[in-house]
Amino acid sequence: MLRLFAATILFLAIPGSTAQERGPAVGAGPEPAPTPISWEFNFKYVPPRRITVQLASSDQPETYWYMLYTVTNTSQTTQRFYPTFELVTEDLQVIPTDMGVSPLVFNAIKERHQITHKYLVHPTKAIGDLRRGDDYACESVAIWPAGDLTVNEFKIYIAGLSGEARVLRNPAFDPDQPETKQIMGDDGRRREVTVNPKYFTLRKTLQLSYTLPASERAREQVEPRLNDARWIMR
């Protein structure tokens, strides 16, 4: 499905190449509505690929995964675009995007795809009000450190593409325990965090499931294979 380092990228006509091709899967937990009941962005993406960049702070080149995407507001009004991308491995390691990633990595990605994605903007600049229509579509990228991916299966969760949400009562809520507690942050400041919520808010989220079909030694050379793409409540 992937053509690694190809000069031209197409939005492939495979399950998951847009966020509107598959409906929710049948499961025991809450599911999204079978048809949209709130605003929803059109989300097109290029499957994950690698890039290796030499950083001044490292003796060896660093490798990263990245996913190019284009998001379009097809609703009737301007909507806030605030996406979150999480890569979750089969051993439940959560790898957030763009944490500690050098700007040089984005620059290298932008240079590689300057022909096919000439309007590519940094992830921080993609956040904001998204006006309706193709003329205001936003091209950006999600980036993960490749060294953190040490297993053969992973999922990418993309939230912020739909206004659909559901509030559920927490079955583990303990009325005899406080709902929040104070913790010390890395900056030395105390923060209040929720540890015993009465309710959970689930949001419509795109789940992409991938496999790296290779041994650990060959994993760095293979292309990820998309197994499934579906909407879930998460």
CB 50 within 8 A of CB 145: no
Q: What's the average model confidence in pLDDT over 7-35?
A: 54
- Residue 150 placed within a domain: yes
Q: Using pLDDT thresholds of 50, 70 and 90, give the confidence band for residue 217.
A: low
Whether the pLDDT of residue 27 is over 70: the answer is no
For the segment 153-202, what is each residue's pLDDT rounded down to a tens digit?
A: 999 999 999 999 999 999 999 999 999 988 877 677 888 889 899 999 99
Is residue 81 one of the residues assigned to a domain?
yes
Output helix, strand, coil percentages for the chain, rounded to the nearest 5.
10, 40, 50
- Distance, first Cα to last Cα, the chain: 27
User: Domain range for residue 144?
Assistant: 41-165+203-233
Task: Judge whether 162 and 38 are in contact, CB under 8 Å.
Answer: yes
Average pLDDT over residues 76-84: 96
- CATH number where 93 lies: 2.60.40
Q: What average pLDDT is seen over the chain?
A: 85
Tell me, yes or no, whether 87 lies in a domain: yes
At 102 the three-state DSSP class reads coil
**DSSP code string of 190-216:** EEEEESS-SEEEEEEEEEEEEE--S-T
Provide the number of structural domains found in the chain.
Answer: 1
Highest mean pLDDT among 140-144, 146-150, 216-220: 140-144
> Does residue 222 carry a pLDDT above 90?
no
Distance CA 99, CA 123 (A): 11
String of DSSP letters for 36-71 = --S-BEEEEEPPPEEEEE--TT-SS-EEEEEEEEEE
Amino acid at 173: F
* Residue 121, phi then psi, degrees to nearest 5: -120, 155
In a domain, 94, yes or no: yes
pLDDT band at 7 (very low <50, low <70, confident <90, very high): very low
Cα–Cα distance, 211 to 91 (Å, whole number) = 13
Residue 83 lies in a domain: yes
pTM listed for this prediction:
0.81
The more confident residue out of 72 and 58 is 72
Query: Is residue 229's pLDDT more than 90?
Result: yes
